[in-house]
C-alpha cells in the first residue's frame, strides 16, 4: 500500500503520460466530476512521490476557479511533517475538502498552544498533534535503563502537565477540535527481552502516558485521540520511522509512510467533519454466510467456526460491534423470506440474529426499491445508507438508481470484508455519544411502539397511552457534542439547515442574546434521548424574537412533539412580554417536509421569502397537546 512504484503493474509509459496530460488539461478547465475522474485515472497508473506532488499541484490550480469547502489543518509535531502535505491534499480533495495546511514543527507546539501567535493567526479549523517520545521525553525514550526512576517520573509528569496546561490555555482562546496522538517508541532497544518483567518497564511507562492522554481527552472539551501508535504498528514500525532522516533533518517519519499517514489523518477528519452515515444495508448470501440458502438449504450455508465459514462468522461479529457503535443494520436479500427465516433459525448460534436487523427485506424486488422502502420506514434519507453486496451487478444497479447511497463491493475473501467497511470511513465516529450507543436498540423499541399503534385505531388514545414526557431546558456540558452532531446530521426536519459547529454552540451559551435549548423525550417504552435543538435570537431594544434554528430527529414525528416545542417557545415569548415571534425557513434539497411548518401553525408569511411572523398580541397562546407532559428546568 505504501510502496508507490508502478513498475510491478507494468503500466505502459504512454498510458501514464496520457493520464498526466489529461489531468493537466482538466485542472485548467473542467467540472469537478471530470477533474476527479482524471485524478483517479492518473493516480491508478502512477502513485510515486513525484506523481502525488503533481496531483497536489493540479488540485491547487483547480481550486483557484472552483469553490470547495476548505479545511484549515494545523499539525503540531515535535519533528518536521511538511512532507505529508501533498498526499494529505490529494486525500482531502477526495473527501471533498480543500486543504489549507500549516505544520508547526519541533518545540513550537507548546508555545503556539500556550499563547497567541502564529497558530492563532492561521485560524485552524482543527489542530492535529503528533509528538514523538524521543523529542519530548528523551530520558524515557533513549536512556531509561540509565536514568533514575525519580528523573523518569519527573520527566513524565512534566510532559503530561505541559500538554494539559497548553490545552487549557488554548481552550480559553479557541474551541476548535484538537486531536492528540498516542505515543510509540521509534524502536525496541536492548530491553526488548526483559522489559515486560523489569521493575522500570519502558513499555509500561509508555502505556501509562497513553492512558493519561485519553484522560486529558475526556476532560478537555472537543479533544479527540488519534491512535498513532496503532497506525504505526499497522504499517510496521521499522519502515515507518527513518533513523537517518531523524538525525539528519529531523524528518523522523519516512516518506514511504506519508501516504498512509495522510490516509489515517483524512479518515479521522472525515469522522469529525464529514457526515456519518447511519445504516449499513447488507446482502445475505455469500456476504454474511457462505453459500446460497435458497439452493444449498439452511444446513448448507456456513458461518461456523471452521474455514471457510469462520471468516463470515468473524464478519458477523464485526457487524454486531458496528451496530453497538450506533449504526443500524438492514438485511437486503433476494430470497424467499421463508428460506431466510429458516436459515437464521437453523443457524441460531451465528453471531448475528434476525433481531439485530432494524429491517429485514427478503423478497425478489430490486434492492434499490427495497432500500427506498426501508429509508421511508426508518424516516431516513437515502444518503444515510451504505450498501454492501458481493454481487457487482447489484452494486452497479444501486449506484445507478440511488447515487446518494454509498456502496461497498464485497469482493474477494470474507476475511477482508471488515477492512472494506472500515476503509470507507463513513460509518466511523471519533467519539460515541450516549445516543450512538443506544440508537440501534432505540429503533427496536420503536418497532414495538409501531406494532401497538397498528393495533390501536384511535391515534389520540394511542398517543395518550404512550405517556410522553418532554423535557425542555438548557443543555448540560456533556450534551454539547450531541448537539453539534444534530446540527451536522439533521437534514429533513431542519428549518434553516445552518450547520453550527462546536465552537458556535459554545458561543450560544455565553451570548445573552441567543437562547439555546434542547429537548429530550421519553415514554413508557423507553428514552428517545436528546431529539431536538432550538436556537432563538433576541434583539436589544426590540419586542421581537426570532427562531434561528429548529431541528428535530425524524424518529419522533407523528406525536406532535414539534407542535409542543413551538408552543413552548411561543408561550415563553409571551411571558417575556414580547409582541412578535419570527420563524425562518431556508429551503434545501432535503427539508421540504417542513416548508409549511410555520404557515400551518398560524404564522403569516411576510414580504421577505422564508420569514414568517406571529403577532403575539392579536393571537391566543398556542396549545400543547394534552398527551404530552412538559418538564422544565427547576
Are 511 and 255 in contact by the 8 Å Cβ rule? The answer is no
- Rounded to a whole number of angstroms, the minimum distance from the CB of residue 138 to another protein is 22
Give the residue with the Cβ less far from another protein, 52 or 265: 52
Residue whose entry in the numeric block shows the C-alpha cell 476548535? 176
Give the residue with the Cβ less far from another protein, 216 or 251: 251
* Closest to 530 measured CA to CA, from 543, 540, 542, 517: 517
- Rounded to a whole number of angstroms, the minimum distance from the CB of residue 53 to another protein is 5
- Rounded to a whole number of angstroms, the minimum distance from the CB of residue 8 to another protein is 10
- Rounded to a whole number of angstroms, the minimum distance from the CB of residue 10 to another protein is 9
The cell numbers describing 548, all together, are 434561528
The cell numbers describing 168, all together, are 487549557
Strand segments (E) across 42-95: 70-77
Give the residue with the Cβ less far from another protein, 251 or 406: 251
Alpha helical stretches, state H, 190-253: 202-219, 228-235, 237-240, 243-248
- Rounded to a whole number of angstroms, the minimum distance from the CB of residue 297 to another protein is 53
Give the residue with the Cβ less far from another protein, 259 or 367: 259
- Rounded to a whole number of angstroms, the minimum distance from the CB of residue 569 to another protein is 54
Give the residue with the Cβ less far from another protein, 50 or 66: 50
Give the residue with the Cβ less far from another protein, 16 or 198: 16
SS (H, E, C) 155-171: HHHHHHHHHHHHHHHHH
Q: How far is CA 578 from CA 135, 407, 542, 600, 612, in A?
A: 60, 51, 8, 22, 16
Are 302 and 312 in contact by the 8 Å Cβ rule? The answer is yes
Give the residue with the Cβ less far from another protein, 86 or 583: 86
78 phi/psi in degrees, rounded to 5? -85, 5
Cα separation of 58 and 39, whole Å?
A: 9
Residues near another protein (CB under 8 A):
4-7, 13, 16, 48-51, 53-54, 57, 60, 80, 82-83, 86, 244, 248-249, 251, 255
Are 162 and 110 in contact by the 8 Å Cβ rule? The answer is yes
- Rounded to a whole number of angstroms, the minimum distance from the CB of residue 258 to another protein is 9
- Rounded to a whole number of angstroms, the minimum distance from the CB of residue 244 to another protein is 7
- Rounded to a whole number of angstroms, the minimum distance from the CB of residue 74 to another protein is 16
Q: Look at the chain and count its residues.
A: 634
- Rounded to a whole number of angstroms, the minimum distance from the CB of residue 47 to another protein is 10
State the chain's maximal CA–CA distance in angstroms: 84
Are 534 and 565 in contact by the 8 Å Cβ rule? The answer is yes
The vertex-318 CA angle with 312 and 322, nearest 5°, equals 140
- CA-based R_g, the chain, Å: 28
The cell numbers describing 144, all together, are 531509561
628 DSSP β-pair partners: 468
Give the residue with the Cβ less far from another protein, 49 or 162: 49
Cα separation of 299 and 346, whole Å?
A: 7
Give the residue with the Cβ less far from another protein, 83 or 301: 83
Give the residue with the Cβ less far from another protein, 13 or 218: 13
The cell numbers describing 139, all together, are 530520558
Amino acid at each position: 500500500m505504501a510502496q508507490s512504484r508502478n513498475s510491478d503493474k507494468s503500466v505502459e509509459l504512454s498510458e501514464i503520460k496520457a493520464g498526466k496530460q489529461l489531468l493537466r488539461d482538466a485542472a485548467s478547465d473542467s467540472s469537478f466530476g471530470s477533474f476527479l475522474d482524471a485524478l483517479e485515472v492518473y493516480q491508478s497508473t502512477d502513485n510515486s512521490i513525484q506523481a502525488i506532488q503533481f496531483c497536489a499541484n493540479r488540485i491547487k490550480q483547480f481550486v483557484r476557479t472552483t469553490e470547495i469547502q476548505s479545511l484549515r489543518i494545523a499539525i503540531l509535531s515535535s519533528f518536521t511533517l511538511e512532507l505529508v502535505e501533498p498526499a494529505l491534499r490529494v486525500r482531502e480533495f477526495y473527501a471533498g475538502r480543500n486543504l489549507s495546511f500549516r505544520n508547526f514543527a519541533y518545540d513550537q507546539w507548546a508555545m503556539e498552544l500556550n499563547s497567541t501567535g502564529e497558530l492563532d493567526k492561521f485560524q485552524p479549523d482543527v489542530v492535529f498533534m503528533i509528538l514523538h517520545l524521543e523529542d519530548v521525553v528523551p530520558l524515557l525514550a533513549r536512556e531509561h535503563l540509565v536514568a533514575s526512576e525519580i528523573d523518569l517520573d519527573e520527566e513524565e509528569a512534566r510532559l503530561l502537565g505541559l500538554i494539559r496546561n497548553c490545552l487549557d490555555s488554548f481552550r480559553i482562546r479557541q474551541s476548535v477540535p484538537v486531536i492528540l496522538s498516542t505515543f510509540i517508541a521509534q524502536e525496541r532497544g536492548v530491553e526488548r527481552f526483559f522489559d515486560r518483567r523489569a521493575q522500570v518497564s519502558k513499555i509500561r511507562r509508555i502505556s501509562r502516558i497513553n492512558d493519561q492522554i485519553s484522560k486529558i481527552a475526556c476532560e478537555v472539551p472537543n479533544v479527540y485521540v488519534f491512535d498513532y501508535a496503532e497506525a504505526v504498528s499497522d504499517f510496521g514500525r521499522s519502515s515507518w520511522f527513518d533513523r537517518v532522516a531523524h538525525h539528519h533533518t529531523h524528518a523522523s517519519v519516512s516518506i514511504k509512510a506519508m501516504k498512509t499517514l495522510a490516509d489515517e489523518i483524512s479518515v479521522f477528519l472525515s469522522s469529525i467533519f464529514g457526515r456519518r452515515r447511519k445504516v449499513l444495508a447488507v446482502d445475505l448470501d455469500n456476504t454474511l454466510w457462505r453459500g446460497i440458502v435458497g439452493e444449498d438449504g439452511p444446513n448448507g450455508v456456513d458461518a461456523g467456526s471452521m474455514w471457510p465459514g469462520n471468516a463470515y462468522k468473524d464478519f458477523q461479529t464485526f457487524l454486531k460491534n458496528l451496530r453497538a457503535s450506533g449504526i443500524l443494520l438492514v438485511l437486503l436479500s433476494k430470497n424467499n423470506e421463508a428460506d431466510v427465516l429458516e436459515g437464521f433459525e437453523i443457524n441460531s448460534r451465528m453471531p448475528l440474529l434476525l433481531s439485530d436487523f432494524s429491517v429485514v427485506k427478503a423478497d425478489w424486488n430490486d434492492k434499490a426499491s427495497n432500500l427506498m422502502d426501508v429509508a421511508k420506514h426508518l424516516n431516513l434519507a437515502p444518503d444515510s445508507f451504505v450498501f454492501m453486496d458481493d454481487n457487482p451487478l447489484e452494486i452497479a444497479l444501486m449506484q445507478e438508481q440511488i447515487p446518494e447511497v454509498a456502496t461497498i463491493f464485497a469482493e474477494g475473501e470474507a476475511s477482508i470484508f471488515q477492512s472494506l467497511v472500515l476503509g470507507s470511513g463513513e460509518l466511523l465516529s471519533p467519539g460515541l455519544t450516549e445516543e450512538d450507543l443506544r440508537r440501534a436498540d432505540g429503533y427496536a423499541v420503536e418497532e414495538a411502539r409501531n406494532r401497538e399503534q397498528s393495533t390501536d385505531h384511535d391515534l389520540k388514545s394511542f398517543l395518550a397511552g404512550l405517556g410522553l414526557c418532554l423535557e425542555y431546558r438548557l443543555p448540560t456540558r456533556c450534551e454539547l457534542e450531541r448537539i453539534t452532531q444534530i446540527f451536522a446530521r439533521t437534514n429533513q426536519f431542519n428549518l434553516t439547515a445552518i450547520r453550527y459547529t462546536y465552537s458556535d454552540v459554545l458561543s450560544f451559551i455565553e451570548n445573552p442574546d441567543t437562547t439555546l435549548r434542547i429537548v429530550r423525550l421519553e415514554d413508557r417504552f423507553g428514552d428517545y434521548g436528546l431529539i431536538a435543538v432550538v436556537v432563538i435570537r433576541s434583539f436589544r431594544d426590540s419586542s421581537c424574537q426570532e427562531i434561528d434554528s429548529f431541528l428535530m430527529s425524524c424518529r419522533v414525528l407523528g406525536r406532535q412533539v414539534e407542535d409542543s416545542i413551538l408552543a413552548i417557545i411561543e408561550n415563553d415569548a409571551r411571558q417575556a412580554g414580547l409582541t412578535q415571534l419570527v420563524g425562518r425557513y431556508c429551503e434545501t434539497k432535503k427539508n421540504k417536509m417542513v416548508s409549511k411548518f410555520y404557515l400551518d401553525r398560524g404564522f403569516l408569511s411576510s414580504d421577505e421569502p422564508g420569514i414568517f411572523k406571529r403577532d403575539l398580541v392579536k393571537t391566543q397562546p398556542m396549545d400543547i397537546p394534552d398527551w404530552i407532559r412538559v418538564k422544565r428546568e427547576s
